[in-house]
Amino acid sequence: MAKILSVVGGRPQFIKEAITGHALRRHHQEILVHTGQHYDVELSENIFRELGILTPTYNLGVGSGSHAVQTARIMVELEKVLLQEKPDIVLLYGDMNSTMGAAIASSKIGIPVAHVEAGARMRVFDMPEEQNRIVTDHLSTWDFACNQHDYENLLSEGLSPYAYNVGDVMFDAVQHFLPIAQNTVQGGIWNDIQKLSEGNAPTEPWYFSTIHRPENTDETEKLKEILCGLQELPHRVIFTVHPRIREKIEMLRREDKFENILFIKPVSYLESLCLTAGAVGVITDSGGLQRESYWLKTPGVIILREMVDKHMGNGNCLVLAKPNKENILEKVLHTQIDRDAYDFTPYGGGEACKRIAEILRTEKTR
C-alpha cells in the first residue's frame, strides 16, 4: 500500500478525483490537497459535496494571480506539505498551474509523480495549458494517457519507459455519474432556470455553452463576437458564466441584452451532464465539456485553435470554430454530423481508474 498525495486545484480536477480517488483508496492510503487555484464556491465546495469527494486535508489557498505568481505560491506551499507528509507518490491531473507547480515541487525533492491525462497535445506552445502538460509529463514517473493518440505523443517525446495507455477517467466519470444526474437533479435545474428567465425557460431544443479561456475572453471584442454568434442561433442558448468573466459579461449586457442567451451561474457537474445530454449542440472552449459532449453524442463546436483529441473530430462530431460570429454560425448551423462516427472504444471502457490504481500498486518507480 502506497501513501498517495493527490493534488487538485479546479473543477475539472475535482471531477477526475471523484472517480479516481475511489479506486485508489481500495489499495492505497490517499491524502487530498486542494491548492485553492479555483476558489469560487460554485466551482469548489459544492462539487465536493455533490460528488462525495474526499475532504481535503490541506487547502493551500493560493487564489488568483499571474501564472508566475500562482505557480510559485503552489510550489512554496505544497513543498511544506510534502516535507511533512512524506508521501510515496504525488498524483496529478490535467493541465492547470496546480498540476505543473506540484510536479516541479515534488520532483525537486525526489518524490515520484503520477500524471493522469498525460500526452495530450495541441501543438500550441503559447497556451499555458500546453506548457503545463509538457513540463508535467517530462517530470513524471507514471504518464497515464487517455487514449492511443496521447500515448503515441508520449512515445514520440522519448517517454516510453513511463507511458501507459489506461483510458480516460472522465469517461469513467460520465458512465458513473450520468444515471445519478438524470435521476436526481434534472428537475432542480429547470426550476432554477425558470426563475432566472422569468417564466421563459427554454424547452427543447436548446444549446449549451460555456466560454472561459483567456484566448477567447481577455479581449472584450473577441468575447462580444462569440456572444453575437450565440445570439443569432435559432434556439435559446443556456450560457454558464465563469467567475473570471462575470464582470465583462455584465458590461457587455449593458450594451446589448443578448436576449437569446440565458446567462446563468456556474452549474454543478451533474447539472452540466444533464444540460449537455439534452442539448441540440454544445459551443465551448472547455476541454472537459467537449469530451463529455462527444460521449453523450451531442454535436460540439469548439472555439479553440486546435482540438486536443483529434479522434473526436471524425465525422464532424466535434468541429473547430474561430472566435467570430460568422464562423460560429457557419459551424453550428451547417456542419453535417456522421452519427456513425462516434467511437468510444479508445477510452478504456470505464476501467481507467482501476488500471491506474493497479499500476501504482505493482509498478516500481524510476
| Bond preceding residue 205 cis, omega within 30 of 0 | yes
Residue type, 177: F
Question: With 0-12 CB in 10 A as exposed, 13-18 as middle and 19+ as buried, what is 299?
Answer: buried
Q: Rounded to whole angstroms, how far apart are CA atoms 237 and 231?
A: 8
- Cα atoms found within 13 Å of the Cα of residue 295, Cβ hemisphere only: 27
Alpha helices in 92-147 (DSSP H): 97-108, 128-139
Separation between Cα atoms, residue 136 and residue 118, nearest integer Å: 8
Contact 207, 279 (CB under 8 A): yes
Among candidate residues 167, 131, 171, 129, the one with its CA nearest the CA of residue 148: 167
Cα–Cα distances (Å) from 125 to 100, 129, 319, in that order, read: 15, 9, 21
Taking the alpha carbons of 240, 246, 248, 251 in that order, is the dihedral positive or negative?
positive
Distance between CA atoms of residues 352 and 114, nearest Å: 14
State the Cα–Cα distance between residues 50 and 310, nearest whole angstrom: 31
Phi, psi of 356 (to 5 degrees): -60, -50
State the alpha helices, DSSP H only, in the chain: 11-24, 45-51, 67-85, 97-108, 128-139, 148-156, 169-184, 186-196, 214-217, 220-231, 246-255, 269-278, 287-295, 325-334, 352-362
Residue from 120, 123, 80 nearest 96 by CA: 120
Cell of 203: 424547452
What are the catalytic residues? Answer: 212
